[in-house]
Amino acid sequence: MKNLKKIDPQIYELVKREEKRQHDVLEMIASENYTSQAVMETLGSVLTNKYSEGFPGKRYYQGNEIADAVEALAQERAKKLFGVPYVNVQPLSGSPANSAVYFAVLQNGEKIMGLSLAMGGHITHGHKLGLSGRFFTSVHYELGKGDVLDYDAIEKMALKEKPQILICGYTAYPRKINFKRFGEIADKVGCYLMADVSHITGLIIAGEHLSPVPYAHIVTTTTHKTLRGPRGAMIMVTEKGLKKNPDLPKKLETAIIPGLQGGPHDNQTAAIAVALQEAGSAKFKTYGKQIVKNAAVLAQELMKYGFDLVSGGTDNHLLLIDLRGKNVNGRIAAIALEKAGIVLNYNGVPGDMMPPLYASGIRLGTPAITTRGMKEKEMKKIASWYDRAIREVEGMSLPSDDKIKRAVLMKAYTVQIEKNNNLKALAKEVKSLCAKFPLP
């Protein structure tokens, strides 16, 4: 990065610091991963300079012969990997992709039905503070006994509410999803089934999770989580979707432009194509299997230390831990763990009485550390470190109903964590392990 260093030494220094931070810590945010060098090279290519408003063969600007070929290649690779007849690779990220689906098939005020945010759903699945909750009517199903999906209850609710779109696929659900059952429910209601598989796309490709393609009408996904590509998204229409509405592709394209955005980011489109090429390899399938193996071992080890895992474990890449039994707030735990070199996010858990900024749980995942080459042996070590870090902050709980007291305690706890020498020592151990597993 010699040119960056010369032109803007401040940004150069920040980039190098971020590179070091990523190298020295265990990146366990379930929605993050490390792209390959090839993906990053593509993102920084001359494709950054082009403006390609429209779609292949139907652009509003000249000079798009190469951009057309890039986008068509990305589309074909996705079609092949997922077995779908139509793919749109232009959404700038996951939220815009979901919004495009709603604008394509719904009228203002029509109904969306998805899992509640508090139970592991996503803000774009009808939450009142998001665009989907403001422009459309939304109702939410919840998890059943054991904090798992109750398909009978979902069916009963769907038949009563009669949504135009039923959504499955989540942001904090550690179990496999029965897409076939969801498809049957949607068919009974006569609505669209949208599967948002942003978190599990890579696992589907690797054969570690069932595919929604035979059962859903529309599939949305980001490209930067288990798929290990650039930040971006895709919308796919299945054969079942085309049968229900042959105009879905055209409606989606109109929703993208002029509905939600102008020209796509061609460098991002090309980088998605690279990631899809990588995902079609046998090596990627091995990677996907290891993600799940690592998560399972990590879950088993954490439960040995007395941690309460939502649903009692995991079937995929992520774990959701309820820390109320440890008498420590999730946000406090996340700060302490980061001090110890373990980066993850605090997260709401079923039945959580705390506001979102002070959620009672922790969400963590194995995609990024698996990319670095870590396996079961390292998961056992990480679980022991996690336990050591949490023991340093046990008793640091926060009140749910007293904002002033909560703010005072939060400030005091943060100061204590910053001064904690045991957490600093743990961070050195983490750094030592990370040195053995370099970034891609």
CATH number for the domain that contains residue 176 = 3.40.640.10
Considering 279, 302, 319, which residue would you say is the last residue of a domain?
A: 279
Are the C-beta atoms of 209 and 374 separated by less than 8 Å?
no
Q: Are residues 191 and 268 in the same domain?
A: yes
Long-range pairs for 246-254: beta carbons < 8 A, 24 or more residues apart: 248/86, 248/104, 248/105, 248/217, 248/218, 249/86, 249/88, 251/104, 251/105, 252/88, 252/100, 252/101, 252/104, 253/55, 253/88, 254/104
From the candidates 51, 68, 414, 429, give the one annotated as an active-site residue.
Answer: 51
Whether residue 59 lies in the annotated active site: no
Q: Express each pLDDT in 17-51 by its tens digit.
A: 999 999 999 999 999 999 999 999 999 999 999 99
From the candidates 222, 223, 238, 370, give the one annotated as an active-site residue.
Answer: 222
Q: Establish if 56 belongs to a structural domain.
A: yes
Q: Are residues 90 and 212 in the same domain?
A: yes
Q: Establish if 98 belongs to a structural domain.
A: yes
Considering 244, 279, 314, which residue would you say is the last residue of a domain?
A: 279
The tokens 């709401």 sit on which residue?
A: 348
Partners of 65 in the beta sheet?
none
Q: Are residues 262 and 329 in the same domain?
A: no
Q: Are residues 122 and 271 in the same domain?
A: yes
pLDDT at residue 97 in the model: 95
From the candidates 27, 147, 196, 392, give the one annotated as an active-site residue.
Answer: 196
How many other CB atoms are found less than 10 A from the CB of residue 184?
15
Work out how many domains the chain is built from and give that number: 2
390/344 Cα distance (integer angstroms): 13
Taking CA atoms, 178 is separated from 81, 271, 287, in Å, by: 20, 31, 23
Could you give the dihedral angle defined by the CA atoms of residues 340, 346, 349 and 351, in that order, rounded to the nearest 10 degrees?
110
pLDDT at residue 118 in the model: 86
Q: Are residues 150 and 186 in the same domain?
A: yes
Are the C-beta atoms of 191 and 168 separated by less than 8 Å?
no
Whether residue 240 lies in the annotated active site: no
pLDDT at residue 244 in the model: 97
Whether residue 53 lies in the annotated active site: yes
Are the C-beta atoms of 26 and 434 separated by less than 8 Å?
yes
Instruction: Please give the DSSP secondary-structure letter assigned to residue 257.
Output: I
> For position 315, which CATH number holds?
3.90.1150.10
Q: Are residues 248 and 182 in the same domain?
A: yes
pTM of the model: 0.94
Identify the helix (H) or strand (E) that includes residue 155: helix 151-161
User: What is the Cα gyration radius of the chain?
Assistant: 22
What parts of the chain have a pLDDT lower than 50? none
pLDDT at residue 124 in the model: 87
Q: Establish if 390 belongs to a structural domain.
A: yes
Whether residue 225 lies in the annotated active site: yes
Q: Are residues 264 and 291 in the same domain?
A: no
From the candidates 77, 225, 244, 339, give the one annotated as an active-site residue.
Answer: 225
Considering 279, 297, 320, which residue would you say is the last residue of a domain?
A: 279
Can you give the residue range of the structural domain that contains 333? 282-434
Exposed/middle/buried for 407, CB within 10 Å: 0-12, 13-18, 19+? exposed
Q: Express each pLDDT in 99-154 by its tens digit.
A: 999 999 999 999 999 999 888 888 888 888 788 878 889 999 999 999 999 999 99
pLDDT at residue 370 in the model: 98
Q: Are residues 257 and 235 in the same domain?
A: yes
pLDDT at residue 304 in the model: 97
From the candidates 53, 142, 150, 187, give the one annotated as an active-site residue.
Answer: 53
Q: Establish if 18 belongs to a structural domain.
A: no
Q: Establish if 10 belongs to a structural domain.
A: no
286/180 Cα distance (integer angstroms): 26
From the candidates 79, 181, 231, 375, give the one annotated as an active-site residue.
Answer: 231
Whether residue 238 lies in the annotated active site: no
The tokens 């020498």 sit on which residue?
A: 421
Q: Establish if 33 belongs to a structural domain.
A: no
Q: Are residues 221 and 134 in the same domain?
A: yes
Q: Are residues 297 and 248 in the same domain?
A: no
Are the C-beta atoms of 200 and 221 separated by less than 8 Å?
no
Taking CA atoms, 344 is separated from 21, 120, 158, in Å, by: 14, 16, 34
Q: Are residues 309 and 231 in the same domain?
A: no
Whether residue 27 lies in the annotated active site: no
Q: Are residues 267 and 290 in the same domain?
A: no
Q: Establish if 14 belongs to a structural domain.
A: no
Token readout for 430 is: 């983490």
Q: Establish if 120 belongs to a structural domain.
A: yes
If phi > 0 it is left, if psi is from -120 to 50 it is alpha, else beta; for residue 126 that is left
321/298 Cα distance (integer angstroms): 12
